[in-house]
Chains A and B, each alone.
Chain A
């Protein structure tokens, strides 16, 4: 719910993906599966593209996550910091590709503005959510 509100208030930044990444970090595969399905339908439903763009985005995200895991420990801040940058760039590429592939003549915001903003959003949201998640686990709520 908070993520949907964040998406509304920031005018188009993605706040749903960090939830999936936290589940991946914690290796909660069942949760990853149902959350991915739900997130795909939510993002596609509130977006303006033909169905399928978010599936491509999440597939790329999962591949990048498993490849990055070989290099860095997924739990630390450096991983979150660098992976968020990759994700923000990937997000921009996917949107740009979808706009061009589906021949939508729209004005996209500048990548020099959109990518840093999305990067910041991922880092902040991911860090806060992860801290809250760990706290909940520590106190036995999860």
Chain B
């Protein structure tokens, strides 16, 4: 026997699978016409598949424990509903299987022939216990593994929510995502997010999932009562075990987990998740859920706060950008490193550059064609003073030439120099306007017009205007004896002198009609002394003419004689003409009177109407002239005459 048993033991040690060992052990026991039953708890699954070798039945622990005695084979068969053995056995032996002090089953052997089963039985028990232990260990590892998976899911979810919260999204899609995320993470059945409306201060539903909003939508939700009042007072996430007591949370069946969205120490919203799911059905949220939920809610609050700051910053930036792009002054912000941080549309337009290509580049790139600006900037970098340069010529990126008034100011943040701001007043358009206007009006009028656009009235309006006509006497006969080039040259030189006088006295050159000048005072800008200016113009014209005549006399040219007529009164001023040609001028009876007075004035005479005379500060030199009967006038016109020597 011992040698057979030894061989059997050798066989066993060569077999690695515990199942095969168990099977062999059972076979060995049953070799001696014995019967081996192994009764195990049905939950011990790994032994199920060797059903062919051993009996695995449901086990009643209590029964076994209570009746821990040696049963007869019949009693045993009845107890465990086994098919009664046809063989009558004389003896029975029971071996209890326990793992870690816990009873797991028993091995029951019925036999007739005495045999030493002890070693086999102990070996079988050891193998089965070992297997059960391994199975328990496997279950524990699986459970831990599942727990680990859930923890991984939670950690991944925290990463996800961080990413989600940092995304540049609008509130609605962001909070929809947040709610979906929370529902999924906490196995919740439903959920809802409220946010406070900035204007009404009431709370509105921002997002919901599986939630019947019919009752909620008609409610005014404030933090003065109900669940929001409690959240406002506690500022804490909490589990609400009887959600139905709050009208807003009536949808909850078991319990609800709630959290406040806090921004600037104020309750700005709330999040509620309802009825946690488990494999067995609905369950309640626990303290572990609350801890995780609270940490996420705090993150959401922080993000909500940041989101508001970002939105307000964006709004501010948008507003500043709008202001900056609407102003005509070019603005460039340069940082301490000399890099361009900001350039507005006007500055881009002045230098004809694309702002995007200039941002973050050194200013030397923008001003590479403008050494003078570079020099000033270098000086400004080493100074804390404001630099100003007027009418500075600049070269644009497209090699055009322009002019600007340049100001460079240092910028200080909390007393620390943070760079410079360059402002550029584009003079190109102003200069164009000036050069065009200067042909018609004096520079002082142009400047005033540019400074004060309201003073310019280009529509058809009735105004008090002083009109001066100056005509060359005997020009036709004079020009007949001269070559045409000389006539033109003579006239141009004469007009140049006369117009200078006009502008000097704030007159506006209305037009040159042949050899006649028509000058206005009081349009487009009226001054208090328009009449005096007109008379002064007339007197100075004669003075200039005297000098002019002396000059041309030396050149062998004939002297020029002029007569001047001036009238003051209401005229209609405006842009008069057709679509093709339109001129700003004045029309009316008083214009005609001025022309008539001029036509009757003899060479060296200034004739002014009574209306002009009455407005003069200095009227010396004028004598009352005999009334003149002018064409188109029923009554003679009172007038005053000055004879200029």
Do A and B pair up? The answer is no
Q: Which residues of A contact B (CB under 8 A)?
A: none
